[in-house]
Amino acid sequence: MLTYAMEDRGDLSLYEYLYRCIRQDILSGALAAGERLPSKRALAEHLHLSVITVEGAYAQLEAEGYVYTKPKQGFFVCPVQQAPEPPQQVPIAPEPPGRVWKADLGRNQADASRFPAATWARLTRQVLSEGGFLTPAPHQGLYALRQAIADDLRSFKGMAVSPEQIVIGAGAEYLYILLAQLLGPQAVVAVEDPGYPKIRQVYGKCGAVCRPIPLDRQGMDPAALAASGATAAHISPNHHYPTGIITTIGRRQALLRWAEEQGAIIIEDDYDSEFRFAGRPIPALQSIDTGGRVIYMNTFSQTISPSMRIGFMVLPPRLLEVYRRELGFYACTVPVLDQHVLARFLSGGYYEQHLSRMRKEYRARRDAVLAAFQASPFADRVKFSEQGAGLHFLLRLDTSLDDEALRRKAEGLGVRLAFLSEYAAVPQENYGHTLVVNYGGLEPESLEETTALLAEIFSE
């Protein structure tokens, strides 16, 4: 008769503990294949359990295929391969905790403390009270959000697009994956060099060939692009990261001619161009595209919050048909509740108000950082390059130390730095000693300490 110490079951129910004990005997071979189990009543009396408890354990064993029944004969053990000796457990290293920096100038992100929490909470309560967020969104995203985005693009970017052309996705990296699949397995993508490394990484992991194309003062070099054999070009013409270059109108026209002549596609990644501190916003390249060759994309991670994993792309009609045919099976990856709230945030004018406040905030922050650096002990050894836009600028340092030595010295003092050389696919000697200073998260009250730390890092 099967005997188990039921008092050792801990927090498990009686039937589950019994089920586990019998299952272990079957897996270990203590109960052989074809062996008959005790009747439910007999085992219940032997273990001082109820028949219902034994019945529950037997039913679970039968459901999982450990036992089978024969009419009027009872339960029998199924043939089961004996469990092998458990392998030696390899210890899993815990995920390293994120380092807390005294000053983080290497991470380009907006200041999350300026998130319009009260407005967002009010709009969220409205959506929750109405219940519309329980209905699934179309695969391209909620129509109300796409309409709000189309209206915003028309008002501030000069883009006449319809909501039907817009695809919503969970951030830029997810959209890069969709674009790689849309372009196809034979795609050769020209990318800006230097440029945002994740673009190359995502396209490469998706099987696309990336061809780094050098930049001059007007943007991507057309001659190098033509010689690359690329079938698509991924560019940031309105404010390139990290150089800040703005692609001139002549160069934009040259890129459009290349796309039309080669039957190629241009992906316009409009990263952080909303933070332009002087003059009117620069019109999107898509707004002068008459051949349907430009895919426009943007996100809300810089303008609203780094955790706002909502991005979108605008497809020209010819590619929209391909997208719906080839990728229309994908469900929208952004929660419907977030889409409803963002749609109201845009259509209610709150987004425009938020951007206006943040432009003033970041303009003042940029001016304070530049003034502090220009009055610092290292002022005579640095040159600044900035275009009055975005949340970063370049700082060229006159030093005998290489970038790695500067990085180690900075990390020893609790400072995170970013260097232009990190963004280059093809190393260039003239990229050395150039820092990408991301000031978006640099609080004014910490500026004095940050400047003092940089003075110590830059000293020789």
pLDDT in tens, 169-185: 999 999 999 999 999 98
pLDDT in tens, 189-198: 999 999 999 9
Per-domain residue ranges of the chain = 6-77, 103-109+354-458, 115-348
pLDDT in tens, 121-170: 999 999 999 987 888 899 999 999 999 999 999 998 889 999 999 999 99
Query: What percentage of the chain exceeds 70 in pLDDT?
Result: 99
- CATH number, domain 115-348, options 3.40.30.20, 3.40.50.300, 3.60.15.10, 3.40.640.10: 3.40.640.10
**350-374 vs 336-347: helix axis angle to the nearest 10?**
80
| pTM of the model as a whole | 0.87
- Mean of pLDDT values over 99-120: 87
Domain 6-77: which CATH class? mainly alpha
pLDDT for residue 281 is more than 80: no
pLDDT for residue 70 is more than 70: yes
- CATH number, domain 103-109+354-458, options 1.20.1250.20, 1.10.15.40, 3.90.1150.10, 1.10.238.10: 3.90.1150.10
Task: List the single range of 84-88, 265-269, 434-438 with lowest mean pLDDT.
Answer: 84-88
